[in-house]
Amino acid sequence: MSRRRSLDHDGQCENGQVFDLFDRSKLSRRSSYHNDRRLDRERRHDTNRSSIRRDCDYTRLDDGLPHSPQPLSNAPSCECNRKSNSPPFATMQQTGTTSTAPWSDTELKDLVEFLCDKMWWRVQCEHERKREKKLCADRERCPAGNPESVHYSDILRLQIDQCQKTRKKYSDRMSIAEDKLMTGITQLMERHAPRSLTSSAATISGAESEKLGAKLESLRQTVDASAKQRKQDQEENNKLSASASAKISATAAAQAKLSKETDELKKSLELERQRNHRLEKRLEDMEHKLNSMSQKQEKLAQETASNTLSGNECSVKMTQVLKRLDSISVSAVTRGELKMALEQFDDVITSPVDTSCIGRQDDEPGPSGNKTRQYLRQLSSVVEDVKSSIGFDADGAVPKCIADLQGEVSSCTKSIQSYYEQSLIMSETLKTLQESICSLQSEAQQKQEHDLPPPPPPTTTTTTTTTPLPRTLPLRPLPSLSAGHGVNQQDLDTQMMRLSATLTEDIQRKMQEKLAKVAEQLGSFIDKERREREQASSKAEDSCNKVESLSRSVDDLKNYMQNSVHKLDSLCVHILTQLQHHKDGMGSFDSRLQFVAMEHARHAEEVAMQLRVVNTWQSNFTTKPLYLDIVAHINRTLPSGINAKMSTLASRVEAVESQLRAGEAAALKKRKLQE
């Protein structure tokens, strides 16, 4: 294009005049065609570069309004970088015509800046739309019921929301930039259209006006198409936002359902953990009980081992029992013998004296032992009467009368003891008297031997007439005393005999009385003792029966204990197996939980890395050097013929507006004239 400009400039310099209108329009059409193609290529190149730069944040630091880039006047111009042999377009205008440009470079740069802003925000909106579509596809690929992808789905949902907000912000800024661009173009056309129309009206012919109208119509169509495209983009954005919001609500509902299911699973897991804890406690209690029962079983086994007898001892005891049974069977009597013995016993018991008391009975003979039974009943009634009369208590206390009798007997024994002592003393005194009498007799005999012949021996002795006292020494016969002593041996013997007889009679009488009283009450004691012996024997039999039943119950208890121990052993084995299964399940659950925790940590690290990348992307994009690079890129890629194109467009727009105003003024004059 610079080469064509140089050729045009050379032609103007050589001929000294401007090319004709046909050649100029042809060259302008060709230059606009090439410029449009280059703009399309550069736009695609910028779009590809923006799509590649995914790691940067395209958010700009502003206050919600589009921040216009650095003015193009401050940036290095593209004309300085391009080396061309042709002079600039302003020089061409000055050489071709004496009129100046209808607008300034500052206004054109502002319009280009607005256009670049619009293009930039459109590219960013398209990028965010593609990113949102990709995130929605990733979120749809996440399984709904998998708890491992819940956090990743939430992160994707948040990113989708952020993309929607960012795209809406970009679209708003694009709309604002477009409005500013249209406003600037309108102001520029309104400001400079009449002047450019008057300056170029002399050189424009009718054919050129038709071509200009066609171009303006095409420009209007392009503007309408851009407006329609904008509306379509807005509708598409609204549809995408609605679909994204619907998907987000559906995912939120699914997330709530999944969270509810996870809460239920956590509760069930807690209940299972509590149940396992209770089972462990129960197993520990059962182990303690089993240990205690095993200890008791060992003790019982030791006791049974100590109580068990060997086979020889059992055989010896069995032989002893058999011998005893044989002896019992030998000493046993038949029923007839027992009946005869009972009849004889009845005859012995029922004496003729008792028949008067038992009289007035039937003459028919009763069963064997009936008389003895009746006699014993009478004796029992008499004993009961005696007990009631003497105040006998059933608790074994001694009655008062018996106690009095026992006291009297004890007093009699004491008096007998005293009498015995007195008799001993008397016997000693008698011995001393006999010795003295013997000595006196020996002296008297010695004297009589000298004086008188010895007297004849006594005819009777005291030993044949006297009866010895109980527990006393017999009295020897005393010789006749001399007349001087005045003591007769026979009188002394008679007195002693009388004394001993009276003493013995008195003692025997008292003893008989006491013994009779004791004998009367002794029968009751004997009966009581017999009954107590019978009761003791019955109690012994009962105790033997109880011991046998107790031994049987002990055997049953041993059998029950053995069965219960076997059952407990089987139950413990079953519980241990169940506990092992539970432990295995808990181990697998722990391993799975650790795996899930590792996966979650890995995903968290990835998310953190992505967040750090996004933060660095945002911080890199919002820096001033990047902004300057963008402005420099726009300045570098700006086409060289844009100024000429904008000037021609501005002049055409001004001409059209002037024609429209002229037409409206003429119509207004006609209406006024008609009125």
CA–CA separation, 127 and 171 (whole Å): 12
pLDDT tens digits, 453-496: 544 444 333 333 333 434 433 444 444 443 344 446 677 677 77
pLDDT of residue 651: 85
* Of 392, 393, 338, 334, residue with least CA distance to 369: 338
Rounded to the nearest integer, the mean pLDDT of the chain is 67
Section 364-368 average pLDDT: 55
pLDDT tens digits, 239-248: 877 877 787 7
Q: How many CB atoms lie within 10 A of CB 1?
A: 15
In eight-state DSSP terms, residue 147 is G
CA–CA separation, 477 and 659 (whole Å): 210
Between residues 635 and 84, the one the model is more confident about = 635
Q: Quote the percentage of the chain above a pLDDT of 70.
A: 57
CA–CA separation, 250 and 244 (whole Å): 10
CA–CA separation, 125 and 129 (whole Å): 6
In eight-state DSSP terms, residue 486 is -
pLDDT tens digits, 35-57: 565 666 665 555 444 443 433 44
* Of 242, 236, 244, 249, residue with least CA distance to 160: 244
The band of 280, judged by pLDDT with boundaries at 50, 70 and 90, is confident
User: What is the DSSP annotation of 299-368?
Assistant: HHHHHHHHH---HHHHHHHHHHHHHHHHHHHHH---HHHHHHHHHHHHHHHS-HHHHHHH-S--SS--ST
The pair of structure tokens assigned to 34 is 């090439």
